[in-house]
A and B are shown apart, each in its own frame.
Chain A
Amino acid sequence: MIDERDHPLDELAAHALGSLDASERADVETHIASCSACKDRLAEYQAVAASLPLGLEPVAPPPEAWTRIVSATRGRRQRPSRWLAAVKWPAIAAIFALVVFWNLALERELSRRSPGPAPGPEVEALSRRPGRVIILAGTGAPASSARIFVAVDGGGHFAVSGLPTLPRDRAYQLWFVRSNPPATSGAIFAVDRSGRAWVKVTTPASLDDVRTIVVTEEPASGSPAPTGRELLVARPWP
């Protein structure tokens, strides 16, 4: 029997349902890193949560749904993705490290942000997933730095600081640069008065042939391909 006074049983149940916020999740991960009873209990709750959808009345998806999936995967080179191959489903200690790292990184970002709309739910979603952090260096804008987080299940977020604010007819654009052009646009954004931005990024369905990530300056409505010079570039990864 797990003694309630010492163990966060309420939080274990909520965690398994995906109903904790980022800091509560971190607390749970910290606790279970050294408590196997709670780690096992959480696993049992997760199994319960995973079986909940079986209680729903089944609905078949429309036939065309599969067609779109096929056409998106077809023609891709079949070698494993360099990006995602580096992301393993980590052991508990590594989950803890990842979540703590992300929470620290997020708190730093949030505390440094000037007043403005907070990321809100995106922040919660961000720290929920396993994924990969890529650092971008300000090769073309020396005062700037940025990081992008690409989740294993797709979607990503980009945080940048130190970029100059632009006139109304200009914007920054983030690109996934491929070996076969054209580059894919991930986001068009502006920075706030302090030169910072936090944006959701549209990641391509496959990252297999992405060579690097860059940020350029473009017209305010964006460009179909990069025209400005590279301001930030992702550092090469192994």
Chain B
Amino acid sequence: MGAASSSRPFPGTNGEEPTDLDLIQAMRRGAEAALEALYRRYGGLVYTLALRIVGDPELAREVLQDTFLSTWAGREAYDPSRGRVPWWLMGIARNRAVDLLRSRSHQARLRERHDEPSPSSNPAVASQAAAQPEVALRTSVRQALEVLSIPQRQAIELAFYGGLTQVEIARELGEPLGTVKSRTREAMERLRRRLAPLMDRKTERDRD
């Protein structure tokens, strides 16, 4: 691992744990260890998202690796005003995963496995550990999704995890495009109202 450029690897504000932005800035100074720290923080989330989309652990690992390689290669390009670092990571991951998903044959997609592998014993990835605000958000997201109707939830999942356009969803469900679009919007509106109070576009971790 390349040597960090200062004696304390990633200065955080007031000597606390580095923010996501601190890690990006350390990466810009060439600290590969900062990429590892980012991976420990968000690798689990990226992998979980990728696995949900592509449905195959090998492909999900490919997405995970491509995402963090792209993060390293594109570390200059990250703009905090566009949103939090994990959103940036997940956008990269989702794009890559949907590309892979859509380039496979339908037969391969139908063979998608639904059973989830048991969590690995690798202690380096914080799949469970999270700061309190993250845990609260995780619970709230699950609860908010449970409140949606089945068709609303399906609309969200087909779009976000299935990588389908509104037109494709309408075709797959045999429903009018307008119906699908308003259902998608209603679902997002309900989620927005429930989650907006909990979401700050910049959290403690990002503030510098």
Query: B86 to nearest A CB, angstroms?
Result: 7
Q: What per-residue 1/0 map shows which CB atoms of A195-223 lie under 8 Å from chain B?
A: 00000000001111000000000000000
Flag whether B77 is at the interface (Cβ < 8 A): yes
Q: Is the interface of B mostly helix, strand, loop or mixed?
A: helix
A84 touches B142 (CB 8 A): no
Q: Closest residue to A154 on the B side, CB-wise?
A: B70
> Which residues of B in the span 180-208 have a Cβ within 8 Å of any Cβ on A?
181-182, 184-185, 187-189, 191-192, 195-196, 199, 201
B116 touches A69 (CB 8 A): no
Q: What per-residue 1/0 map shows which CB atoms of A84-127 lie under 8 Å from chain B?
A: 11011100000000000000000000000000000001101100
Contact of A14 among B69, B185, B192 (CB under 8 A): B185
Query: B126 to nearest A CB, angstroms?
Result: 9
| Size class of the contact patch on chain B | 35 or more
Flag whether B145 is at the interface (Cβ < 8 A): yes
Flag whether A137 is at the interface (Cβ < 8 A): no
> Which of B39, B73, B83, B92 gathers most chain A CB within 10 Å?
B73
Complex interface: chain A residues within 8 A of B48 (CB): 53, 56-59
Q: Closest residue to A83 on the B side, CB-wise?
A: B73
A73 touches B165 (CB 8 A): no
Contact of A81 among B73, B82, B165 (CB under 8 A): B73
**A-binding segment of B6-14, B16-24, B96-104, B105-113:** B96-104
Please name 14 pairs of A and B residues whose Cβ atoms are closer than 8 Å in the assembled complex, sorted by A.
A13-B188, A14-B165, A14-B166, A48-B199, A53-B49, A57-B116, A59-B119, A61-B120, A63-B120, A81-B74, A87-B77, A121-B99, A206-B69, A206-B73
